[in-house]
Structure 1
Amino acid sequence: MARRFRGSEEVKVDAKGRVSIPAKFRRVFEASDPDWQAGKRAQLVIVYGTRDWNWLQLFTIEAMEEIEEGIARMPRGSAARNLLENIYQGHADEAEIDGDGRLVLPQKLREKIGLTDSAFFISAGDSLKVWTPEAYAEEERALEARVPELEPGADPLSLLAPAAAKDEG
């Protein structure tokens, strides 16, 4: 199983759109890039999605290959396949982390999400989401409102499906 991202970080964005990728996140990109080796630049895919997305999603190469394999199994010409191809292939750019551990976010993507002087990274399993700190603060409040079955003060792990019984044979 591929390594997963964990945690969140707020980082500065310079005038050229460069953001430093925290070391703990760089290690996941490196480990999940089948072509990476010491001295090379880790590759990733930036998905900027549909016009209503106000975040960017940074996928590892392995995660993007898994998504593309899933899309390829869908019926050609289906509305669902067309939508997923549009989002994850048509609204995506390949990128790399430079030798100083930075990622250049193109101006059109920074403008799309309103990114100026700081970015907020939040882990999403096999990807990282990039938000403005202000937009993420709003999203975090909205997340709780979208899960009506979670009572105030309840353990969020109660949302997980029960584990399947292990075979004792």
Structure 2
Amino acid sequence: MARRFRGEGTHKVDAKGRVSIPASFRRVLEAGDPNWREGDAPELVIVYGDHRRKFLECYTIEAINEVDDKIDALPRGSNERKMLERLFHGHSHPTIVDDTGRIVLPAKLRKKIELEGEAFFMASGDTFQIWKPETFDTVELARTEAWLDGLPEGTDPLIFLDGVKGD
């Protein structure tokens, strides 16, 4: 199975912060958790980051391990390493998907992105994001549209992949 999240969806958030993860996302979380076995709850890490971030970024265990390996490769004591450790280790929340396909978003995380009755899920390759639907529409969707509108007429965004080398 590919390790990429694809698609989007909106799901209800209950008063306790429980929200269903899209089913296709759960399959990727299972595949990206080296300790997961049939019947187990897949693990993930929610990175909420700094004050500028208006969304929660959810990583599979394999994806966050890749980030951790890159952080560990930085010189010990460097400012870059300290800041990235703070953003990805300190400002994160490890959790599991329960047997009904839900996660619990703590009040602190819901408050940070002003999440109330619904959560918008957006795939982002090897991560997925959780947004307040209105924030996604006004911030991120507007950003994407502005980028597309700035391209010359008739430009196919796939052109940016020309010349990109694979791993």
TM over 0.5: yes
In the other structure, the counterpart of 2:39 is 39
In the other structure, the counterpart of 2:133 is 133
In the other structure, the counterpart of 1:80 is 80
| Aligned mates of 1:43, 1:97 — CA distance in 2 | 7
- Following superposition, which runs of at least 4 residues in structure 1 exceed 6 angstroms of deviation? none
Question: Residue 136 of structure 2 aligns to a residue in which SS?
Answer: helix
Question: Residue 26 of structure 1 aligns to a residue in which SS?
Answer: helix
Structure 1 unaligned spans of 5+ = 165-169
- Tell me the amino acid that sits aligned with residue 111 of structure 1: K
Q: Using structure 1 for the length normalisation, give the TM-score.
A: 0.90
**Does the Cα contact within 8 Å between 1:13 and 1:19 map onto a contact in 2?**
yes
Deviation at 1:163, TM superposition (A): 4.3
**Does the Cα contact within 8 Å between 1:150 and 1:159 map onto a contact in 2?**
no
| Aligned mates of 2:110, 2:154 — CA distance in 1 | 36
In the other structure, the counterpart of 1:156 is 157
Q: Percent identity?
A: 49
Deviation at 1:25, TM superposition (A): 0.4
Tell me the C-alpha RMSD between the 2 structures: 1.8
| Aligned mates of 2:56, 2:63 — CA distance in 1 | 15
- Tell me the amino acid that sits aligned with residue 140 of structure 1: L
Deviation at 1:151, TM superposition (A): 2.4
Deviation at 1:114, TM superposition (A): 0.4
| Aligned mates of 1:41, 1:109 — CA distance in 2 | 21
Deviation at 1:147, TM superposition (A): 6.8
Q: Using structure 2 for the length normalisation, give the TM-score.
A: 0.91
Cα distance per residue 1:42-93 (max 9 Å; x no partner) = 0000100001111000100000000000000011122221221111101001
- Give the stretch that moved more between structures: 78-87 or 63-72: 78-87
Deviation at 1:140, TM superposition (A): 1.3
In the other structure, the counterpart of 1:98 is 98
Deviation at 1:159, TM superposition (A): 2.0
| Aligned mates of 2:99, 2:89 — CA distance in 1 | 26
